[in-house]
Amino acid sequence: MIRYAYRFLSSRVVLFCICSTLLPISVVRADWGADASITTVYNNNVNNALEVRDRRHDLTTTVGLNVGYFAQLTTNTSASVRGLLEQNFSAHYSGLYNTGIGLRAQLRHKFALGSGSPWLSGSLQAIHRDYHDQLRSGWRYDAGLNYGQPLSERVLMGASIRYDSFVADRTSPPVVPGFATNAYDISGWSLGGNGTFLITPADRISLGYTLRDGTVVASTPPDFTWFGISRAILPDPVFSSESLFVAYRTNAKTDIVSLNWSHELDRRLSFNFGYSFYRSRIEANFGNYYSSLFSANIGYSL
């Protein structure tokens, strides 16, 4: 009962925060905006398994809407606040269905006048994800700094540093003595760089590399060798249709290489395709797991 009350209240608190932040701004006639998007992602290792035989693939579709306002605070500094709403559908795992609702705030500063000037932005985001598999539900927090340096009207170089954290709403009683069960409570620091290039006036490609150092969750069949490097262990019903899978939380350094192509169909509509390759190196040379993600996205500015 308390659990449901907490879930009910937590999503209402987010809604209240969004409304109380956004509504006063309408008085000063800030620039409102809304973006809608549909994204489909194929992930060939959605459970982060080390062994190829344990990998599970999935196709997820996300319908997203963000609504918010933008305000130019000074000549070169702007702020934006957006409410975020997402619905995620999984093709193979109903437990991964989730609804996300949250808030994102960003402050951006240009160091000089004009489109060619470098800029620095800082952002904070909190989003609550409510999964069908309730043990996965929780808050995802992101804080980041991004730096952009246009080299020409076609080339932009960027760098970013980010901290992410996921805090699950609930924990289960211990299943393995001596091990915590908050397997989905993960966090990490990321450092990245990227280059963006306009190949035509309507087509942009970007290539990026990110190194993330933090905790990860891998769901695999039970394996005692994981005990030595796991911080938390929890049975994972989502992938346990044929045999038991267990979610292990451990430390890893993850290399992410991504390549994206955006095509602007008109000034409000874009098609986007992406590929990301993940290599996570688990601590103590325990092993690596790999994932490839292919994505397609349609974004529309309302």
DSSP-derived secondary structure letter, 18? H
Residue of the chain from 3, 6, 24, 31 that contacts another protein (CB under 8 A): 31
Comparison of 85 and 180: residue with beta carbon closer to another protein: 85
What are the tokens at 228? 């030595």
> Cα–Cα distances in Å, from 180 out to 95, 185, 187, 220?
22, 11, 16, 17
Q: What angle do CA 161, 189, 294 make, to 5 degrees?
A: 80
The tokens describing 212, both together, are 């993330």
Q: Does 99 bind another protein (CB under 8 A)?
A: no
Q: How many residues bind another protein (CB under 8 A)?
A: 44
Residue 29 binds to another protein (criterion: CB under 8 A): yes
Q: Per CB under 8 A, which region of 185-193, 197-205, 209-217, 237-245 contacts another protein? A: 197-205
75 binds another protein (CB under 8 A): yes
Task: Please tell me whether residue 40 binds another protein under the rule CB under 8 A.
Answer: no
Strands (E), 113-245: 119-131, 138-150, 155-168, 186-200, 203-220, 232-235
- Site map for another protein, 246-285, x if CB under 8 A? --------------x-x-xxxxxxx-x-x-----------
Residues in the chain: 302
> Cα(158)–Cα(151) distance, rounded to whole angstroms?
10
Question: CA-CA distance, 26 to 6, in Å (whole number)?
Answer: 31
Token digits of residue 50: 């080390």
Nearer to another protein, 20 or 200 (CB): 200
- Residue 182 touching another protein (CB under 8 A): no
Q: Choose between 95 and 158: whose C-beta lies nearer to another protein.
A: 158
Residue numbers of the site for another protein (CB under 8 A)? 29-31, 33, 35, 37, 39, 70, 72, 75-76, 78, 80, 104, 106, 110, 113-115, 121, 123, 153-154, 198, 200-202, 204, 260, 262, 264-270, 272, 274, 295, 297, 299-301
